[in-house]
Amino acid sequence: MSLSRFAFPALPVPPSWYPGHMSQFTRMLPALLTRTDVVLELRDARLPLTSINRTFEGALKRWRAERFRVADHAATSATHTAARVCERIVVFSKRDLVPEWGLQPFRLAMASKFPDQRVMFASWNKPRDLKTLSSMLVNIAKEHPHVPELNVLVVGMPNVGKSTLLNALRNIGIAGPTPKALRTSAQPGLTRALSTRLKLSADPLVYSFDTPGVMLPFLGRGDRGAERGVKLALIAGIKEGLYDIESLAAYLLYRLNVLNSTSPAYLTLLPDGSAPTADIDAFLDLLARRLGMLKRGGIPDMQRAATWFVRWWREEGGSVYASAPLATPSQQPLGAAAQPQRAGWGFDLEWEVAPAGGASVGAIQAHMEACIDTYVQDAEREASEGGGVSSTQVKKREREEKMAKRAARTQARLAAKKGS
């Protein structure tokens, strides 16, 4: 069966999940950056574009502009005032859950599109990755001996592993036993406030702050916003229970088919000889029977099977997908016109592959750069159209502006009365 084309599943309207502590931290961010030397931004390698938090970008751009202004002044000043450090490191966590063949092309694509960012991939269960990141921070501190201590601010979306990473870095950088300093959880939203400073290295001195995971205030309108929400829910980046589990299962089936139409990762769950399918009901029926998830009368329990399927993806399925080689276009029937097929890496990068398409690092990098360009253009278009703010948030802002104007008029009248 050829699955070169798939019907995009119907997805629910994305929920609103933006607790007060997230809004509070976003307001605090500009002030925190004034005493920050390195921004360590964590993203999820499975969603390398969706896990970008666009609400940080404005504050980070202003931070860099101010630091460069200070650096220019220091270079021309007679007193040669030491310029502050200004580094942005983007770490893509869970590298073991995406195929190895895509790491180098994506690293090159990011370097081409975002030359101001240092990029690395890491998995918290690989000590070598953690030691590499620890050495990177220590080396930055050594490159700036005039700075008495290096302050690192760790930011990112919910559930990308910020607290887990800092506990591990602290264990590497501090000699002797170091008890876990930060609580961790598989559910998003555990860290709700800025942590106290954690020492990551004694010589040179490196300190860090853990921060709450911050969600996008609004996931967007239409299919784009709906898909963004489902992707984040699949990696447990959104609070459990805000999504219907069968909607998540339908999108997961669709995406696994896109990633490998001839041998998708879910085939390991089905009886031998099963063929790929784009029918979520047929798939869940078969999976429920295979796992013995039956209601009274032998009726397959579809919801239970959907829950199991999503949990399998989070705990095991990612590794099954990551271990598969790069899928090559399937053979076309003799005499048939060549049809392009879909390929991709993670859940964000997708492109068409011709039957004779190349699979070199350069060819894959070019596809990935095109995906990044599309993401940036879409983000800019959404921002210009107000797509990053919900209608409820617009009404709230308008109400706050009216109240502020009313208060200003009242103050002006009172001031006028006192002056008369």
Instruction: List the CATH number of the domain containing 348.
Output: 1.10.1580.10
pLDDT: is 10 or 299 the higher one? Answer: 299
279 and 371 part of one domain: yes
Tell me: do 268 and 189 sit in the same domain.
no
**What is the model's pLDDT at position 237?**
81
How many beta carbons lie within 10 A of that of residue 162, not counting itself?
Answer: 28
Q: Higher model confidence: residue 296 or residue 261?
A: 296
Residues 44 and 172 in one domain: yes
Position 415 scores a pLDDT of 73
Verify that 165 and 307 share a domain, yes or no. Answer: no
CA distance 25 to 269: 42
Q: Taking residues 225-241, report their average pLDDT.
A: 85
Are 173 and 136 part of one and the same domain? Answer: yes
Q: State the number of CA atoms in the 13 A half-sphere of 95 facing the CB.
A: 23
When the pLDDT of each residue in the chain is averaged and rounded to a whole number, the result is 81
Residue 76 has what pLDDT?
59
Residue 144 falls inside a structural domain: yes
Residue 97 located in a structural domain: yes
pLDDT at site 97? 92
Shared-domain flag, residues 166 and 308: no
What's the confidence (pLDDT) of residue 368?
Answer: 96
Range of the domain at 318: 233-327+339-379
pLDDT band at 324 (very low <50, low <70, confident <90, very high): confident
More confident residue, 148 or 212: 148
Domain termination site, one of 151, 175, 209: 209
Give residue-wise pLDDT tens across range 48-80: 999 888 888 888 889 988 887 866 665 655 444
Q: 183: pLDDT confidence band, cut at 50, 70 and 90?
A: very low
Would the pLDDT of 185 be above 50?
Answer: no
Backbone angles phi, psi at 351, to 5 degrees: -150, 165
Is position 6 within any domain?
no
Residue 106 located in a structural domain: yes
Q: Are 187 and 236 in contact (CB under 8 A)?
A: yes
Please count the structural domains in the chain. Answer: 2
Q: Are 19 and 212 in contact (CB under 8 A)?
A: no
Point out the least confidently predicted range of 109-123, 288-302, 304-318, 333-347.
333-347
Tell me what pLDDT residue 205 has. Answer: 92
Sign of CA dihedral 306, 307, 308, 312: positive
- Verify that 193 and 239 share a domain, yes or no: no
Domain final residue pick, 158, 176, 209: 209
Is 395 inside any structural domain?
no
The CATH number linked to 179 is: 3.40.50.300
| C-alpha count within 13 angstroms, C-beta hemisphere, residue 145 | 0
In a domain, 323, yes or no: yes
Domain check: are 55 and 184 in the same one? yes
Tell which phi-psi region holds residue 275, choosing left (phi > 0), alpha (psi between -120 and 50) or beta: beta
Say whether both 29 and 150 belong to one domain. yes
Per-residue pLDDT averaged across 157-165, rounded? 84
Best-predicted range by mean pLDDT among 195-209, 300-314, 376-390? 300-314
If pLDDT is split at 50, 70 and 90, which confidence band does 407 have? confident
pLDDT band, residue 325 (cuts 50/70/90): confident
Task: Note whether 146 and 36 are same-domain residues.
Answer: yes
What confidence score (pLDDT) does residue 111 get?
95
Tell me whether strands 150-156 and 87-93 are parallel, antiparallel or unpaired.
unpaired
For CA atoms 221, 222, 228, 230, the dihedral sign is: positive
**Final residue of a structural domain among 194, 209, 224:** 209
* Residue 190 sits in the same domain as residue 284: no
Model confidence at 167, pLDDT cuts 50, 70, 90, reads confident
Taking residues 321-345, report their average pLDDT: 66
Query: Taking 90 as the threshold, does the pLDDT of residue 87 lie above it?
Result: yes
| Residue 405 maps to a domain | no
Pair 113, 250 in one domain:
no
- Residue 339 Cα distances to 1, 260, 277, 354, 364, angstroms: 14, 15, 19, 7, 19
pLDDT (tens digit, 9 = 90+) per residue, 355-406? 655 578 999 999 999 999 999 998 888 888 765 544 554 445 556 556 667 7
